[in-house]
Amino acid sequence: MITTDFVPGSPCWLDLGAPDVRAAAAFYGAVFGWEFETMGGSGDTEGGVFRKDGRIVAGLGKLTEEGARPAWMIYYSVADADATTRAVERGGGTVRVAPADLGDSGRMAQYSDPLGGQFAVWQPGGIRGVDLVDAPGSLSWTELYTSDATAAKQFYGDVLGWRFSDTDLPGGGGTYSLITPAGLPEDRMHGGVMELPEKSLALTDGRPYWHPVFAVTDCDATLAQVTGHGGRVQMGPEDAQGVGRLAVCLDPAGADFVVLTPAGS
C-alpha cells in the first residue's frame, strides 16, 4: 500500500504533462471528481495541482518537451537527489533533468532507465508529497511495463533500494514482480513490474513506461465517465483475483492510467 510517510523509495508525487491543461483538468475532474487549482489561483495557466476533497492528489503541467507524448510522471522519494543521480548514471540510465531546487519545497530530478522508461525523484524540503493516497480518487499503485523485467529489477534495485518478490499471473500470463521499499514489510508494497514484448509497448514504440493506478469505488461507472468525456479503454474491465476490478485507460490526449476498484472494497 502507498502511504504519506514517504519513506525513501516510495512514490510521493505524480504529475501529468498535457498539451492542453484546461482540457486535461476538465477530463480528470469529470472522471475522478478532482478540482484543479492553477498556480496563480486564476486566469490562464501553464499548470497547477489537482485536489480531491481539498487535498492535493497530483500535479498538472503544460507539455513543452518537443516530441514527448502526454504522460504521467511518477516521483519517488529519496534522501539525496544528487546521490541518486550518480547511481542512475552508474546503472546505465540517463539524466533527463539534472537535480534542481524548487525553492524551499524540495529538490527534483528526472531520468530514463537503461531501456528508456522515464521516472523522477523528489528530495523533500517543505513539501514531502501529495496529501491523499490509497483512497478513492487517488494514487494506489505504480506499475512499470518493460520488455526486460530482470534488467529493470537490477537497475531500480540499485538506484532506489527496492526489493522484489515475484508471483505467477493466472492462466499462464507470466510473472509479476512486486515492489517494496528497502527495510519495509511486504504490506508496504507500492507497485509492480510487468514484462511484455516490445510489440505490446506501442504507446512508446517499444520503450518501457510507468503508469499510475488510481483507486475508484466503481470501476465500470468510472469507465463510463472516461469514455463519455473523450477517453478510451485500452484493456478491460476485468476482475483480477485478490486484486480487484481494473481497466487500463487513455485520456483524450493519450496519457495512460489504470483505474482499480480494490477487492473487498
65-78 pLDDT, tens digit per residue, is 888 899 999 999 99
Specify the CATH architecture of the domain 139-262: Roll (3.10)
Q: Domain boundaries in the chain?
A: 11-124, 139-262
Of the chain, the percentage scoring pLDDT greater than 70 comes to 96
What is the band of 20 on the pLDDT scale with cuts at 50, 70, 90?
Answer: very high
- Residues 181-231 pLDDT 10s: 998 998 899 999 999 999 999 999 999 999 999 999 999 999 999 999 999
Contact 212, 74 (CB under 8 A): yes
Strand extents, DSSP E, the chain: 11-18, 35-38, 47-52, 55-62, 71-77, 94-101, 106-112, 118-124, 139-146, 163-168, 175-180, 191-195, 209-215, 232-240, 244-250, 256-262
Q: In which region does residue 95 sit, left (phi positive, over 0), alpha (psi from -120 to 50) or beta (all else)? A: beta
The pTM of this model reads 0.95
C-alpha cell at 198: 516490445
User: Is residue 42 predicted with pLDDT exceeding 50?
Assistant: no
State the architecture of 11-124 in CATH terms: Roll (3.10)
User: Cβ(141)–Cβ(178) under 8 Å?
Assistant: no
